[in-house]
A and B are shown apart, each in its own frame.
Chain A
Amino acid sequence: MRALVLQHIACEPPGAYEDVLNERGAALHRVEVDAGEALPDWREFELIVAMGGPMSVNDPLDWLLAEKRLVAEAVRAGTPFFGACLGAQLLAASLGARVYPGPAPEVGMLAVTLSEEALHDPVFAGLPRELTTLQWHGETFELPDGAVALASSAAYRNQAFRWGQRAYAIQFHLEVSTAMACDWADVPAYADALEQTLGPGAFEALLGELEQGAEELTAAGRRLFAQWLDHAVAPSGAGSIALP
């Protein structure tokens, strides 16, 4: 299984999702897109995982334009796609939906509520209706045409969606370890969002909450991602896949 991993800052690897890929023997091709590494031909991969980053999908950067083109072509051709945070916003933008700054960043260990559709979605099956997540974002998105909403939060209505049966977008984080979160706190844009939302010196408290909840968080992340691999990447009886 060849997996294309699109990263947008070195400290946001797929974390718990990457662990699942490794356990399944996937061959990872990691591209640090923001650092100017070349995007490969997406046709060479069975799946694409796109992770977070401090930039906006609307930033006028050549590599972002190329990446949105890759995502649009790959997803419309039925390639399984899993986007987290900026990766989720990339999917939305690539399918023509608006991505925009929200009224305030959403940062912290916060609940999202799964939609009715999520309760019957094979990728979200078995996850608690009120799911504790790590949030750390300032932009949000509208749903692309044909998308199915899967989760919402008090601050932001659109937290997760699927488009077709293989492309999933997750705004929140379930993949993050405490070590990764410590690295994020050193990224100026992330530190600003944290302070703006939770006040100065809030990271220690957040880290404490994450330490307490990390096991549950990544267990949910592992389950979600494993079920995506099972149902979206290698579905039993795979035949033609309906796209919106």
Chain B
Amino acid sequence: MTYVIAEPCIGTKDLSCVEVCPVDCIHPTKEEQGFDDEPMLYIDPDECIDCDACVEACPVDACFAEDQLPEEWTSYIQINAEYYGRRP
């Protein structure tokens, strides 16, 4: 399983999740190229360790365990993976 960032992040990019992620698997960070251009943040499905820290940290409830993801946002599994050039 992995965790997924969904629609509420669009335009928010609060970065609280980046701050708490113990394995730095959420990008782009503010310092990284592309931060201003990306509409949201993404979780690297290969690096995520399922710790749940981002879920509690997110102020707009955009982070979900994959199996808890609301049905209307299941496309974000692919959207997160594709940011890292991966297929879910």
* A-chain residues with CB within 8 Å of residue B22 when the two chains form the complex: 57-58, 65, 68, 72, 93-94, 96
Find out whether the CB atom of B20 lies under 8 angstroms from the CB atom of A73: no
Q: Does B24 contact A (CB under 8 A)?
A: yes
Q: Can you pick out 13 interface pairs between chain A and chain B where the beta carbons lie within 8 Å of each other? A: A57-B22, A60-B24, A65-B22, A65-B24, A68-B23, A68-B49, A69-B47, A69-B49, A72-B51, A96-B20, A96-B22, A96-B51, A97-B53
The 0/1 profile, CB within 8 Å of A marked 1, for residues 15-31 of chain B is: 00000101110000000
Q: Does B50 contact A (CB under 8 A)?
A: yes
Find out whether the CB atom of A94 lies under 8 angstroms from the CB atom of B20: no
Residue of B nearest to A71 (CB): B49
Residue of A nearest to B53 (CB): A96
Determine the distance from Cα of A93 to Cα of B20 in the docked complex, in whole angstroms.
Answer: 9
Task: Other than A72-B51, A96-B22, A144-B51, give 11 A-B pairs with Cβ distance below 8 A.
Answer: A68-B23, A68-B49, A69-B47, A76-B50, A93-B22, A94-B49, A96-B20, A96-B52, A96-B56, A98-B20, A98-B53
The 0/1 profile, CB within 8 Å of A marked 1, for residues 44-59 of chain B is: 0001011111001000
Q: Does A216 contact B (CB under 8 A)?
A: no
Q: Does A95 contact B (CB under 8 A)?
A: yes
User: Which A135-168 residues have a C-beta within 8 angstroms of B?
Assistant: 144-145
Name B51's contact: one of A57, A58, A65, A94 (CB within 8 Å). Answer: A94
* B-chain residues with CB within 8 Å of residue A96 when the two chains form the complex: 20, 22, 51-53, 56
* A-chain residues with CB within 8 Å of residue B23 when the two chains form the complex: 65, 68-69, 72
User: Which chain A residues have a beta carbon within 8 Å of chain B's beta carbons?
Assistant: 57-58, 60, 65, 68-69, 72-73, 76, 93-98, 144-145
Q: Interface centre among B23, B49, B51, B56, by most A CB within 10 Å?
A: B49
> What is the number of residues of chain B that contact chain A, defined by CB distance less than 8 Å?
11
* A-chain residues with CB within 8 Å of residue B51 when the two chains form the complex: 72, 94-96, 144
Shortest C-beta distance, A1 to chain B (Å), equals 26
* B-chain residues with CB within 8 Å of residue A73 when the two chains form the complex: 49
Find out whether the CB atom of A145 lies under 8 angstroms from the CB atom of B49: no
Shortest C-beta distance, B69 to chain A (Å), equals 18
Residue of A nearest to B54 (CB): A96
* A-chain residues with CB within 8 Å of residue B20 when the two chains form the complex: 96, 98
Find out whether the CB atom of B24 lies under 8 angstroms from the CB atom of A145: no
Determine the distance from Cα of A108 to Cα of B39 in the docked complex, in whole angstroms.
Answer: 50
Determine the distance from Cα of A107 to Cα of B40 in the docked complex, in whole angstroms.
Answer: 44
| Top 10 closest pairs, chain A to chain B, by CB | A96-B51, A72-B49, A96-B53, A93-B22, A96-B52, A65-B23, A68-B22, A68-B23, A69-B49, A69-B23
Shortest C-beta distance, B84 to chain A (Å), equals 15
Residue of A nearest to B55 (CB): A96
Residue of A nearest to B25 (CB): A65
Residue of B nearest to A76 (CB): B50
Find out whether the CB atom of B47 lies under 8 angstroms from the CB atom of A145: no
Residue of B nearest to A97 (CB): B53
Determine the distance from Cα of A69 to Cα of B22 in the docked complex, in whole angstroms.
Answer: 9
* A-chain residues with CB within 8 Å of residue B49 when the two chains form the complex: 68-69, 72-73, 94
